[in-house]
Amino acid sequence: MEKHHKFSIWYVLLGIWVVLLLQQYLVSVLAIKVIPYSEFLRLLKENKVTEVAVKANEIQGRALLNGDVQSKGELFRTIRVDQELSELLAQYHVTFKGEVESTFLRDLMSWVFPILLFVGIWYFMMRRMTGQQAGFMTLGKNKAKIYMEDELNVTFDDVAGVDEAKQELVEVIEFLKDPHKYTELGGKLPKGVLLVGPPGTGKTLLAKAVAGESRVPFFSLSGSEFVEMFVGLGAARVRDLFVQAKEKAPCIIFIDELDALGKARGFGAVGGHDEREQTLNQLLVEMDGFDPKVGVILMAATNRPEILDPALLRPGRFDRQILVDRPDKKGREDILKVHLKGIKASEDLDVERLAAMTPGMVGADLANLVNEAAILAVRRKKKQVDMSDFEEAVERVMAGLEKKNRLINKSEREIVAYHELGHATVALSLPGTDPVQKISIIPRGIAALGYTMQVPTEDRFLMKRTELLNKIAVLLGGRAAEEIVFGDISTGAHNDLSKASDIARSMVKEYGMSAKVGQVYLAGEKRPLYLETGFRGQDEYSEATAQLIDAEVREIVEQQYLKALEILKKWRPVLDRAAKLLLEKEKIDGETLKSLMDEAGA
């Protein structure tokens, strides 16, 4: 790549310093002795002046200052006072001449140098402004970060948990390494490869790994970098991007967050043809125009494939879609092993158990988890990161920062203890629920006064109706315990009620698990596939159906609340013993509570 050296004001200051040193050196070498005019007259009368040069107000020359007759004399300078000097010089047979004083250096220092200094400072400031604002003349240039083949050190060894996606991309790598292998049979590689999946699953890393394995240049930019304030600027950048890519072919163009650029046309456009649509049209034209045999492959990533323009996804453009989904337990284990290479972990670290404790986490979450565990180990002044640090990191990521300094009065601590034990007791009593790992009454995060940590033993992709009902009962166990023990309820169950209501509403509207409502889908517009947002589409059913849905949701929640009450009344003695223990220790594990229940049951 071409390297541009930046102008610095230090270059000007260094030049001034060199000039001053040179001037001082010349003055020291060509030293001229300054003598009084009276001394000059005395030397003149004694025939010790050999030659002079007369200026308007100064006399320079050579004279025998030390009395050495054999030498040419030393240089001297004196200020002229006598106006009839020529008569004296002629009287004593001294050759003399007049000189016109040169003012070149003085004019240079007084006029030219300040101008040069001003121009240098102006140039420096303009370069700074150009670097920040990109300059008017560079507006049409693309903003892609170009990684050459020797600058990418990412390979498939750095990517884990997405084995199926890597297998799909092997063909892209083989084509970039040996395109003749495909063109001899008349085959054509897909022009565009779209990586689809939730945020943090490693789509960008996977694209870099493809370029690293292929050893080709990699153009990386975001979809939002095309769209600017000026009309036509995005289209110009698209054209410039493909021109540069063809010059460096074979290469890979990677556009991150494609949904910022490729959103379906006709939505949100005031005039029907805004700047974003012009940019998208230009991208579609460029994808149709370039020859796949050239070796330019366009890759893109998005977590909103449902809003992309259909013209982008048709054959001949992004005609291959690769799912980069959340990793399963084995994938999380492989990802953890990759990130554990960068820290000093203890040899007895159980990576398989750690992977089981992190269901639903993606690569970015696991990287953050490993980093949090390393920070905790440093805080505890350990030499290695062990399992206890990772367990604490999992709790911190899931529940928030532990706040031991938050003062809670005795009665509230007791309410929190029974509330959390209510969740845990119901969970241990019902089949198909996630095992209870830990119960704590130490406040965490913003509003959590305590928490019950449940860790699944395996990844689940389907849930039965009974399992969903039991999950609602577990969520309502905290409220049920408060009612049984204190005869009153608190505000601590607001989050539990929200989750339980959402599950019940999804059972009725989306999963068809209500006998009264029937096997129908009533959730309105589809939500984003990979984004957890609160946006819901407009409901398309009658008011009578809405009343029926509300009644069904209320009935499901009430039935599971009664189930939780029944369970906790049965285990009331265990609830009291466990609460006393929890108030004393602040934390107990699930095995402790289970052993208390086994003793009482026996």
CATH number at residue 505: 1.20.58.760
- Residue that has been written with the tokens 């789509």 in this structure: 203
pLDDT, tens only, 316-330: 788 788 888 888 888
Q: For the chain, what is the domain count?
A: 4
SS3 content of the chain, % helix, strand, coil (to 5): 50, 10, 35
Task: Judge whether 87 lies within some domain.
Answer: yes
Q: Which of 399, 422, 450 is the last residue of a domain?
A: 399
Is there a single domain that holds both residue 319 and residue 334? no
Retrieve residue 54's tokens.
Answer: 């007369």
Residue partners of 376: CB distance under 8 A and separation at least 6: 385, 389, 392, 393, 396
Whether the predicted pLDDT of 132 surpasses 80:
no
Is there a single domain that holds both residue 300 and residue 364? no
Whether the predicted pLDDT of 348 surpasses 80:
yes
Is there a single domain that holds both residue 431 and residue 366? no
Flag the least confident range among 267-276, 369-378, 430-439: 267-276
Query: Helix 465-486 crosses helix 494-509 at what angle (to 10 degrees)?
Result: 150
Task: Judge whether 475 lies within some domain.
Answer: yes
What value does the mean pLDDT take over residues 105-113?
Answer: 63
Residue 162 belongs to domain with CATH number: 3.40.50.300
Catalytic residue among 333, 420, 482, 552: 420
Task: Judge whether 79 lies within some domain.
Answer: yes
Torsion of CA 305, 306, 310, 311, to 10 degrees: -30
Whether the predicted pLDDT of 370 surpasses 60:
yes
Whether the predicted pLDDT of 23 surpasses 60:
yes
pLDDT at res. 572: 92
Whether the predicted pLDDT of 395 surpasses 90:
no
Flag the least confident range among 20-34, 62-76, 129-143, 194-208: 129-143
What type of residue is 131?
Answer: G
pLDDT at res. 137: 41
Retrieve residue 438's tokens.
Answer: 């830990």
pLDDT at res. 561: 95
Radius of gyration over every alpha carbon of the chain, rounded to an integer in angstroms: 42
Retrieve residue 537's tokens.
Answer: 């589409």
Whether the predicted pLDDT of 27 surpasses 60:
no
Q: Order of strands across the sheet with 145-147?
A: 145-147, 218-222, 251-256, 296-302, 192-196, 320-323
pLDDT at res. 526: 57
Q: For the chain, first and last CA: distance in Å? A: 77
Is there a single domain that holds both residue 93 and residue 189? no
Quick check: is 333 catalytic?
no
**Calpha distance 138→133 (Å, rounded):** 9
Whether the predicted pLDDT of 560 surpasses 70:
yes
pLDDT at res. 553: 94
Higher pLDDT among residues 234 and 257, named by residue = 257
How many beta carbons lie within 10 A of that of residue 584, not counting itself? 9
Beta strands (DSSP E) in 433-545 are 436-440, 451-454
pLDDT at res. 523: 80
Q: Which of 342, 373, 399 is the last residue of a domain?
A: 399
Is there a single domain that holds both residue 89 and residue 236? no
Structural domain of 386: 329-399
Q: Measure Cα distances from 491 to 75, 403, 419, 449, 482 in Å.
A: 102, 20, 11, 11, 11
What value does the mean pLDDT take over residues 531-560?
Answer: 81
Higher pLDDT among residues 583 and 172, named by residue = 583
* DSSP label of 346: -
Flag the least confident range among 103-107, 294-298, 399-403, 531-535: 531-535
What value does the mean pLDDT take over residues 447-474?
Answer: 84
Task: Judge whether 577 lies within some domain.
Answer: yes
Task: Judge whether 135 lies within some domain.
Answer: no
Flag the least confident range among 90-104, 216-230, 437-451, 460-474: 90-104
Residue partners of 13: CB distance under 8 A and separation at least 6: none
Q: Measure Cα distances from 97 to 51, 52, 58, 78, 104 in Å.
A: 9, 7, 12, 15, 21
Q: Are 544 and 552 in contact (CB under 8 A)?
A: no
pLDDT at res. 86: 64
Q: Are 589 and 446 in contact (CB under 8 A)?
A: no
Which of helix, strand or coil describes residue 323? strand
Is there a single domain that holds both residue 264 and residue 180? yes
**Calpha distance 219→101 (Å, rounded):** 64
Retrieve residue 363's tokens.
Answer: 């690569």
Is there a single domain that holds both residue 420 and residue 460? yes
What type of residue is 380?
Answer: R
Is-above-0.75 flag for pTM? Answer: no
Flag the least confident range among 12-21, 149-158, 380-389: 12-21
Rounded percentage of the chain residues whose pLDDT exceeds 70? 77
Whether the predicted pLDDT of 405 surpasses 70:
no
Q: Measure Cα distances from 261 to 220, 264, 277, 278, 302 in Å.
A: 15, 9, 8, 10, 11
Q: Which of 277, 296, 323 is the last residue of a domain?
A: 323
Is there a single domain that holds both residue 531 and residue 417? yes
Question: What is the Cβ-side half-sphere exposure of residue 193, based on CA atoms within 13 angstroms?
Answer: 26
Whether the predicted pLDDT of 273 surpasses 60:
no
Q: Are 454 and 437 in contact (CB under 8 A)?
A: yes
pLDDT at res. 229: 53
Task: Judge whether 371 lies within some domain.
Answer: yes
Residue 379 belongs to domain with CATH number: 1.10.8.60
- On the 0-12 / 13-18 / 19+ scale of CB atoms within 10 A, 178 is exposed
**Calpha distance 330→351 (Å, rounded):** 10
Task: Judge whether 471 lies within some domain.
Answer: yes
Q: Are 326 and 198 in contact (CB under 8 A)?
A: yes
**Calpha distance 218→220 (Å, rounded):** 6
How many beta carbons lie within 10 A of that of residue 275, not counting itself? 18
Is there a single domain that holds both residue 206 and residue 341? no
Residue 499 — very low, low, confident or very high, per pLDDT cuts 50/70/90? very high
Is there a single domain that holds both residue 256 and residue 298? yes
Retrieve residue 6's tokens.
Answer: 């930046």
How many beta carbons lie within 10 A of that of residue 465, not counting itself? 12
Which of helix, strand or coil describes residue 193? strand
Residue 78 belongs to domain with CATH number: 3.30.720.210
CB crowding 61-81: b at 16 or more within 10 Å, else e: bbbbbeeeeeeebbebebeee
- Residue that has been written with the tokens 């300094």 in this structure: 405
Query: Apex CA 68: angle with CA 67 and CA 74, to 5°?
Result: 85
What value does the mean pLDDT take over residues 283-296?
Answer: 74
Is there a single domain that holds both residue 319 and residue 333? no
Task: Judge whether 429 lies within some domain.
Answer: yes
pLDDT at res. 260: 83
pLDDT, tens only, 63-102: 887 766 666 677 888 877 665 766 776 677 666 655 555 6
Residue 283 — very low, low, confident or very high, per pLDDT cuts 50/70/90? confident
pLDDT at res. 140: 47
pLDDT at res. 473: 95
Output 17-24 pairs: Cβ under 8 A, ≥24 positions apart. Answer: none
pLDDT at res. 590: 86
How many beta carbons lie within 10 A of that of residue 512, not counting itself? 15
Is there a single domain that holds both residue 337 and residue 306? no
Whether the predicted pLDDT of 530 surpasses 90:
no
pLDDT at res. 135: 42
